[in-house]
Amino acid sequence: MSSATKDGPPASGQTASFGYREVAAEAHQGLVNDVFSAVAGRYDLMNDLMSGGLHRLWKDDLVAWLAPPKSARAFDLIDVAGGTGDIALRYLQAGGQGCRAVLTDISPQMVAVGRRRFAQAGLSERVSLAIGNAEALPFPDKSFDAYTIAFGIRNVTHIDRALGEAFRVLKTGGRFLCLEFSACEVPLLDKLYDFHSFEVIPRLGALAAGSAEPYRYLVESIRKFPKQERFADMVRAAGFGRVSYRNLTGGIAAIHSGWRI
């Protein structure tokens, strides 16, 4: 684990939630990076095991809602916290020859897995990979037609800064789409989901990936993330218009959409 100031007093006095723990804001990203560098090699397998494959359907839904153009006209997507490339791969496969993607992620280990997958899919020509922080994207204003972030935003230290960056890099008329775990409000399904989250997932992590800790963080960070309406308000506060959301599987996950108008 990172030796950053995780247990010491916060230098700025600010804290951030790392799962159920409050840590110094300066230490938060280092702790998150430790989680993803530890799981990168097994990330795709664990996603399937933990969600029973549901994450694939949710990602298909995100790309279907984006509806990438089928034409040869240039259309530029930035997929932030893109990890091993699930969203960018789907987008390039669904869209026409004009669709190009930039995948950016703070973890070199996750991006390295993604690079291999794009090569295997024969899509390396239409994607660029960049190491970058969602809170300070290394791209000029108004560069992209669409911005996606899937299961990424709950990991950033300052969600408002990441949303501000999303707005900044989108062209006028550009689309923001965020897929994230959310609040399940279906009776019984919520109980089942709690049991799965707190009893099954950490054990699966211990068995399949050798450690329960990163998976405990993943589960806890999901519960700390703002619910559907509150997150929609945060998206509006960043400047987006026509904000709406769709629940997936009873609200276990949700896709939020907004436009830079």
Ligand X SMILES: C[S@@+](CC[C@H](N)C(=O)[O-])C[C@H]1O[C@@H](n2cnc3c(N)ncnc32)[C@H](O)[C@@H]1O
Residues that bind ligand X (CB under 6 A): 29, 32, 36, 80-83, 86-87, 105-107, 110, 133-135, 150-152, 155-156
Rounded Cα distance, 27 and 250, in Å: 34
Nearest approach in angstroms of CB 71 to ligand X is 26
Nearest approach in angstroms of CB 73 to ligand X is 26
How many other CB atoms sit within 10 Å of the CB of residue 217?
22
Instruction: Quote the tokens at residue 19.
Output: 């799962």
Q: What is the largest CA-CA distance in the chain?
A: 54
- Kindly tell me which of 6 and 186 has the beta carbon lying closer to ligand X: 6
Sequence-separated contacts (24+) of 211-216 with Cβ below 8 Å: 211/38, 214/35, 214/38, 214/39, 215/46, 215/50, 216/19
- Kindly tell me which of 80 and 186 has the beta carbon lying closer to ligand X: 80
Nearest approach in angstroms of CB 210 to ligand X is 18
Instruction: Quote the tokens at residue 95.
Output: 């869209």
Which residues contact residue 161 at a Cβ distance below 8 angstroms, ignoring those fewer than 6 apart?
135, 136
Nearest approach in angstroms of CB 188 to ligand X is 27
- Kindly tell me which of 186 and 196 has the beta carbon lying closer to ligand X: 196
Nearest approach in angstroms of CB 152 to ligand X is 4
What is the amino acid identity at position 201?
A: I
State the residue number with the nearest CB to ligand X.
Answer: 83
Pairing of strands 144-150, 127-131: unpaired
Which residue is listed with tokens 């800064």?
A: 161
Which residue is listed with tokens 């050798």?
A: 210
Nearest approach in angstroms of CB 91 to ligand X is 12
Nearest approach in angstroms of CB 187 to ligand X is 28
- Kindly tell me which of 117 and 186 has the beta carbon lying closer to ligand X: 117
- Kindly tell me which of 87 and 235 has the beta carbon lying closer to ligand X: 87
- Kindly tell me which of 57 and 72 has the beta carbon lying closer to ligand X: 57
Listed in order, strand segments (DSSP E) in 198-261 are: 241-248, 253-259
HSE, side-chain direction, 13 A CA sphere, residue 212: 11
- Kindly tell me which of 134 and 183 has the beta carbon lying closer to ligand X: 134
